[in-house]
Amino acid sequence: MGRRIAECGYGLLYGGATVGAMGALADGALASGGEVVGVIPDVIREREIDHKGLTELHVVRTMHERKAMLSSRADAFVALPGGYGTMDEFIEIVTWAQLRIHAKPCVLVNVNHFYDGLLRFLDHSVREGFIVPENRGLVQVAEDAETALLLIEKTWSEREEIPAHDTRLDAVVR
């Protein structure tokens, strides 16, 4: 994913750590010449190793400050397979889309059917009347990085929206 983001000329905005899948994502973008910006709160910086090779690293005090910075700077949101933190940040940003706080694409990358259970839950919530059908569409699903980027670009063209950065996508990828 990081490599593809960079190859498309987009920037990557992410959580700022060098460990795990997110570290690999940043490394892939950097190795392909991409701009990579990290936003890491002190509490996580103390537990994880912040990435030293980023284009920019912003250290903030709280998770709320991190989310605010990520959401304001991003043109789209992508969730790769992950745990509680990924779900927290992705569901919150989808909720903000539902509330019309933003109209940015929100894409789950469902590698090897990782998110099938979540997608069934969302569909169940629609059937039970907790999510209105048009809001179910706020969560787009891709099987791989290439499809995720195509969905984002398609969403922009359908909404006739051009991101603030002419040729750059600041994608928050979790």
The CATH number of the domain holding residue 97 is 3.40.50.450
Is 75 within 8 Å of 164 (Cβ atoms)? yes
* Residue-wise pLDDT tens digits, 50-106: 899 999 999 999 999 999 999 999 999 999 999 999 999 999 999 999 999 999 999
* Residue-wise pLDDT tens digits, 133-157: 999 999 999 999 999 999 999 998 8
Residue 90 CA, chain-centre distance (Å), reads 7
Q: State the pLDDT at residue 103.
A: 93
pLDDT at 114 over 70: yes
**134 φ, ψ (degrees, to nearest 5):** -65, -30
Q: State the pLDDT at residue 50.
A: 87
Q: Record the tokens describing residue 167, joined without a space.
A: 């040729």
CA–CA separation, 105 and 14 (whole Å): 16
Q: Which domain holds residue 83?
A: 2-173
pLDDT at 161 over 80: no
pLDDT at 163 over 80: no
pTM (predicted TM-score) = 0.87
| CA 159-142-29 angle, 5° bins | 90
Identify which has the larger pLDDT, 167 or 66: 66
Residue 168's pLDDT band, with cuts at 50, 70 and 90, is very low
Query: Which amino acid is residue 144, in one-letter code?
Result: D
Strands (E), 33-133: 36-41, 56-60, 76-79, 106-109
Is 58 within 8 Å of 39 (Cβ atoms)? yes
Residue 174's pLDDT band, with cuts at 50, 70 and 90, is low
Q: Record the tokens describing residue 89, joined without a space.
A: 């940040």
pLDDT at 118 over 80: yes
The tally of domains found in the chain comes to: 1
CA–CA separation, 70 and 11 (whole Å): 13
Region 30-34: mean pLDDT is 97
CA–CA separation, 37 and 15 (whole Å): 8
pLDDT at 170 over 80: no
Picking from 78, 61, 62, 86, the residue whose alpha carbon sits closest to that of residue 143 is 78
Is 14 within 8 Å of 25 (Cβ atoms)? yes
Residue 173's pLDDT band, with cuts at 50, 70 and 90, is low
